[in-house]
A and B are shown apart, each in its own frame.
Chain A
């Protein structure tokens, strides 16, 4: 972490040697993170990875300046940024290129991106309680798996679930 901070200080001051070292150190990680998203989609992974570097140094390292070493590791942050750039690129390349005259009028109708929602009043459950219920009942995930994903212990998952169900029963008039 300390090394990251020193490297970043040099980088953000425009030191070419620091940039070169940064690129050499994180190119492999960025390529792998992009490939994880793109898969075998036929999109050039190297092009997207280069775009990640462009975004990092653009406008006097504006994006890179948003990284806070006290909050997360540089590798994790770069992985998130790389995945985000890759998702963005995939979305753009999948945009329809059919001429507008050939597109049926119905295609222009605005349809909301919909998802199923539990009919639970807002604020009744905390986001974590709602998430734990979703993971248990909609994804059939095991407690240990949920605990690992959310970086909490298994007992916390169980107690979160228990409290959420108590609230639901109380709200909908069920006996515990």
Chain B
């Protein structure tokens, strides 16, 4: 290039100064995105840009990244992609897992249940007893035990004096 021609003697000097001293490179990912964005838009003065330019001068990968940077042309996203991203805010909240606290013991309900069982048993007993009594009464009525004299042989004379 024509611009390079005046630099040729300087290039010789520069290359003489080159050494292969190894130094740890800083990562461009450590840069503040806000600072880098302002730098990429050319909004920083030389003093503000100094931390970024120091990294760019020392890290070939960071410099590659800067040189390759240009505004991207937006793609057309799928509806599913947009819906999924929109659901990140204001959608169903996923709470972190926490053990559910044990519910308080409901003593009244437990007592009521046991009371109902007891009442049922009493009721069943009463009904059973009542039915038993009724059956016995019916049985006695049909056999006529109270007047057993009627079934005795009159001729035997065993009933004499009873009626």
Which of A's residues lie within 8 Å of B, judged by CB? 14, 16, 19-20, 23-24, 27-29, 31-33, 35-36, 46, 49-50, 53-54, 57, 66-68, 71-73, 75-77, 79-81, 83-84, 87-88, 112-120, 126-128, 130-131, 133-144, 149-152, 161, 165, 168-169, 172, 174
Quick check: A119 and B34 within 8 Å, CB to CB?
no
Q: Binary interface profile of B, 67-92, with partner A (CB < 8 Å = 1, else 0)?
A: 10001111111100110111011100
Quick check: B77 and A31 within 8 Å, CB to CB?
yes
Chain A-chain B contacts (Cβ-Cβ < 8 Å), number: 181
Quick check: A77 and B22 within 8 Å, CB to CB?
no
B residues near A81, Cβ cutoff 8 Å: 33
Which of B's residues lie within 8 Å of A, judged by CB? 1, 3-4, 7, 10-11, 13-15, 17-25, 29, 33-34, 36-38, 40-43, 46, 49-54, 56-60, 63, 65-67, 71-78, 81-82, 84-86, 88-90
B residues near A135, Cβ cutoff 8 Å: 63
Interface centre among B11, B23, B75, B88 (most CB of A within 10 A): B75
Quick check: B63 and A134 within 8 Å, CB to CB?
yes
Kindly provide the distance from the CB of B143 to the nearest chain A CB, expressed in whole angstroms: 88
* Chain B residue nearest to A137 in the complex (CB): B14
* Chain B residue nearest to A19 in the complex (CB): B89
B residues near A54, Cβ cutoff 8 Å: 88
